[in-house]
Each structure stands twice: as C-alpha cells, then as structure tokens.
C-alpha cells in the first residue's frame, strides 16, 4: 500500500505540472482526491490495516493529500494568470481610437464661452498686476450688502432681488462681496479681480437670468482718480474687442461708490451711427464703476484718509453676448449643444 501511495503521488504531481488547462487539473483532482478518488479510497480503507500500519499509512496519506492539494492550487493560479496575460495580449483595444469610419464619435469637449471670456479677462488683468481672488456663492448678508454701504431697509436692496436661505444667509447677488473679502485679506496698495457666478430672484427673459456671471475689480492705492479708472477700463476693452473702443461715463448710483458711473462704449456693431443693438443711440451700456466709497474702505479696514480706489463690476454674459452677437441670455445655461458647439 505504501508503494501504491508514492506512485499515486509521483504520477499525480507529474500530471499536474504538465497539464495546460484548469479543467484538466480539476479532472485530476476529482480522480485522485474526489469522493471516490484514488487517494480517498486508500484513506477509507485504513480501517482494515493493523494498528501500526494504519497510523503510518494514514499519516503519509494525509501528507500526500496536502501536498497534492497545494500543487493543484498553485498550478491552477499559474494557469489562471497565464490565461489573463494571454487575453490582455490578444484582446486589448485602444479605447481612445474612434471606430473605423467615424470621426465624431469621440468629439472633444471644450470650455464654455463664459469661462473662455473669464480666463481671458483674468489674463488681461494679471498682466496689469491684478491678483485673481475667489469668494463663496452662498454669502453672508454682511459681505453682500452691509459692508458695501447697503444697510438693512436701504432702498438699494430692492434693486437686487435676492435668494435668502432659511438661516438668514443668501446667494450672492453680485461679485462686489469679493471687494470686502479682498480688503480684509490684503494690505493696500493692491489690485484684485474677483470673477464668479451670481444669483438674482428674477423672472427670466432675453436679457435677464436668475444665474449669471460677473467679474469684480478693485484697485486701492494713493490718489486714485477717475482717470486711473478710465485708463484701466479702456485697456481692458481694447484687449477684449481687439480694437480701440470709445467710452463715455454717465452718472450712475451704487451705494458702494462715490462718484458712481455707468460706462458706455461706442456701439461696435454700427460704429456709433445707431442700430438695433444700441437702440439707435450709438452707445451700449457696458459696465458700472466708480470710486470706492469711504464707508466701504472703512468696512474693509482701510483708512479712507490715506487710501483711495476704484471698483467696477463687469457683466460677463453681457460681454460674451456683445462679442458674438448673442441676443438671448438664456442660451448660456440652456445646455443646448447646438448653441455650445459654436464656440
């Protein structure tokens, strides 16, 4: 019986190592170690042996059983990983390729026209020494109104319909909140721009959206005047529209600037002669701006006797609409691929 055991072991090990398929190995396992297997039969017949023989043969049988089980597992996993490597070699596909004959299946995405304009403006201002700052979309009433010289019950609050949260905060109605956060963070002199998304509780039409984009700007230094403001604005517009742009200032009221202005540009569509876009006036209202109100400087922790500054709020949607002749602001958030693919 001993010899028979060793023979089973040697033969089985040989077979295992020369087998090339997991199914074959499984067959070997069943044949040798299965319920009616060769080795199992020996283990079952131990009862017929003498006490001494039984313990010796039993021990050896169990050793062999363990050795075979080990060999089977090892060979199975060898064959398994070989099969996987073979699959990887023979069946790999290049997922980045278009299928034959198609050119647009994997069309590349691109940056939204508003973001394109935003990045462009950030670059223009960076080149003039402005730092780009960020601010939160859900904002404290303090930053959005109070510190901008718009106290509670001030009628100017009515100009900006607001989404309030239940705990008394709000979705910022303008990027001007970034002015205050910027002043708190920086020591004058400084120049900052703050692009971002803003929200108004408004019904929408071709020129009103509840969600739109602005770029806020602020420059604080000694003896800042309207001349500095006009120069920087003209510089910006020349870069954006790639031509010299004529501007004019009209008085405009915003509680956080004094004096406050509406900056108009000479209509780029008709060259100032008068057309549908400029409503025959030759001028298009483009951006509000002004010299920072002393109260606002104080709220920002800056001494208005030492420092002065200008600020402006640029409507990004408006600018993109002007550049491309887009006539309805609602296109921007419509998600309409036909609209977006044009840029």
Token pair listed for 120: 């462009």
Nearest distance from C-beta of residue 292 to ligand DAH, angstroms: 7
Among 37, 113, 288, 300, interactor with ligand DAH by CB under 6 A: 288
Neighbours of 181 (CB within 10 A): 20
* Stretch near ligand DAH under the rule CB under 6 A, chosen from 6-14, 93-101, 236-244, 282-290: 282-290
Is 313 among the residues that bind ligand DAH (CB under 6 A)?
yes
Nearest to 5 by CA among 50, 52, 67: 67
* Stretch near ligand DAH under the rule CB under 6 A, chosen from 5-13, 115-123, 308-316, 328-336: 308-316
Residue 342 CA to residue 276 CA, distance in Å, equals 23
Among 174, 186, 191, 318, interactor with ligand DAH by CB under 6 A: 174
3-state secondary structure of 115: helix
Nearest residue (beta carbon) to ligand DAH: 313
DSSP run (H or E) holding 94: none
Nearest distance from C-beta of residue 189 to ligand DAH, angstroms: 18
Is 299 among the residues that bind ligand DAH (CB under 6 A)?
no
Among 195, 290, 300, 309, interactor with ligand DAH by CB under 6 A: 290
* Stretch near ligand DAH under the rule CB under 6 A, chosen from 163-171, 183-191, 254-262, 276-284: 254-262
Among 72, 192, 311, 329, interactor with ligand DAH by CB under 6 A: 311
Nearest distance from C-beta of residue 320 to ligand DAH, angstroms: 17
101: left (phi over 0), alpha (psi -120 to 50) or beta: left
| Phi and psi torsions of 200, nearest 5° | -135, 140
Hunting for tokens 């602005």 — which residue is that?
A: 214
Instruction: Pick the closer one to ligand DAH by CB: 8 or 291.
Output: 291
Is 191 among the residues that bind ligand DAH (CB under 6 A)?
no
Nearest distance from C-beta of residue 289 to ligand DAH, angstroms: 5
DSSP run (H or E) holding 217: strand 211-221
Is 195 among the residues that bind ligand DAH (CB under 6 A)?
no
Size of the site for ligand DAH (CB under 6 A): 12
Instruction: Pick the closer one to ligand DAH by CB: 113 or 313.
Output: 313
Alpha helices in the chain (DSSP H): 2-18, 22-33, 38-44, 51-91, 113-127, 141-144, 177-185, 226-241, 294-299, 316-324, 337-340
Hunting for tokens 């309207």 — which residue is that?
A: 226
Instruction: List Cα–Cα distances, 212 to 117, 196, 316, 324, in angstroms.
Output: 13, 8, 8, 17
Nearest distance from C-beta of residue 238 to ligand DAH, angstroms: 20
Positions that interact with ligand DAH (CB under 6 A): 174, 176, 216, 254, 257, 260, 288-290, 311-313
């Amino acid at each position: 019986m001993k010899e028979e055991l060793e023979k089973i072991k040697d033969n089985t090990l040989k077979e295992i190592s020369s087998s090339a398929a997991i199914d074959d190995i499984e067959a070997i396992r069943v044949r040798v170690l299965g319920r009616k297997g060769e080795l199992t039969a020996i283990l079952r017949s131990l009862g017929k042996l003498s006490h001494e023989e039984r313990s010796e043969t039993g021990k050896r049988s169990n050793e062999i059983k363990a050795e075979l089980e080990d060999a089977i597992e090892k060979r199975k996993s060898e064959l398994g990983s070989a099969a996987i490597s073979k699959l990887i070699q023979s069946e790999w596909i290049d997922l980045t390729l278009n299928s034959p004959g198609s050119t647009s299946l994997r069309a590349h995405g691109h940056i939204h026209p508003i973001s394109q304009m935003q990045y462009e403006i950030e670059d223009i201002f960076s080149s003039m020494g402005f730092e780009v700052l960020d601010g939160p979309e859900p904002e404290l009433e303090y930053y959005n109104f109070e510190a901008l010289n718009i106290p509670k019950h001030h009628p100017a609050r009515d100009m900006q319909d607001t989404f309030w949260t239940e705990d008394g905060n709000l979705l910022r109605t303008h990027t001007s909140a970034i002015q205050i956060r910027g002043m708190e963070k920086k020591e004058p002199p400084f120049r900052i721009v703050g692009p971002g998304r803003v929200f108004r509780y408004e019904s929408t039409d071709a020129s009103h959206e509840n969600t739109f984009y602005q770029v806020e700007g602020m420059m604080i230094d000694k003896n800042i005047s309207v001349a500095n403001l006009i120069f920087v604005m003209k510089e910006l517009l020349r870069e954006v529209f790639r031509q010299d742009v004529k501007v004019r200032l009209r008085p405009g009221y915003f509680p956080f600037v004094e004096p406050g202005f509406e900056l108009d540009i000479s209509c780029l569509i008709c060259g100032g002669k008068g057309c549908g876009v400029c409503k025959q006036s030759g001028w298009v209202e483009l951006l509000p701006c002004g010299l920072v109100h002393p109260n606002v400087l104080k709220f920002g922790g800056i001494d208005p006797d030492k420092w002065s500054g200008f600020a402006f709020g640029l409507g990004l949607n408006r600018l993109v609409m002007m550049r491309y002749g887009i006539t309805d602001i609602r296109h921007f958030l419509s998600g309409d691929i036909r609209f977006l693919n044009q840029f």
